[in-house]
Amino acid sequence: MTHAQAEAQAHVLAVDFAACDGHGLCAELLPELVGLDEWGYPVLRRPTVPPDLLPHARRAVAACPVMALRLNRVPTPAPDQLPTRGTAAPRRAVSHGQPG
């Protein structure tokens, strides 16, 4: 992976709720991005991790006792590949009736 490719990736948090035990440790370590619902399970305030919070996100992932908190890398489009206003494909009409 080149340096340019590494920069073109965002870090995104995800929770494996089948594994999560609702310990709440992630919310304590990363309150900027993780809250808790009324049962103590994590609620991601926003999944994308800003670069300045990346060390804290990594620490929260490492501290999860059941490895339910994940940090995934997702590719981000280069600025010249982002859609600009008026260039998106037109929406198709959706019909729920019989054709014809």
The site for ligand SF4 (CB under 6 A) is made up of 15, 20-26, 42, 64-66, 68-69
Distance separating the N- and C-terminal Cα atoms of the chain: 52
CA-to-CA distance for 13 and 58, rounded, in angstroms? 10
**Within the chain, what is the greatest distance between any pair of CA atoms?**
58
| Cα angle 35, 38, 39; round to 5 | 100
Q: Supply the minimum distance, in Å, between the C-beta of residue 90 and ligand SF4.
A: 41
Complex with ligand SF4: residue 26 or 33, whichever CB lies closer: 26
Give least dist CB 51 to ligand SF4, A.
22
Nearer to ligand SF4, 18 or 93 (CB): 18
8 versus 12: smaller Cβ distance to ligand SF4 = 12
Class of residue 69 by CB neighbours under 10 A (exposed 0-12, middle 13-18, buried 19+) = buried
Least distance to ligand SF4 from the beta carbon of 48, Å? 17
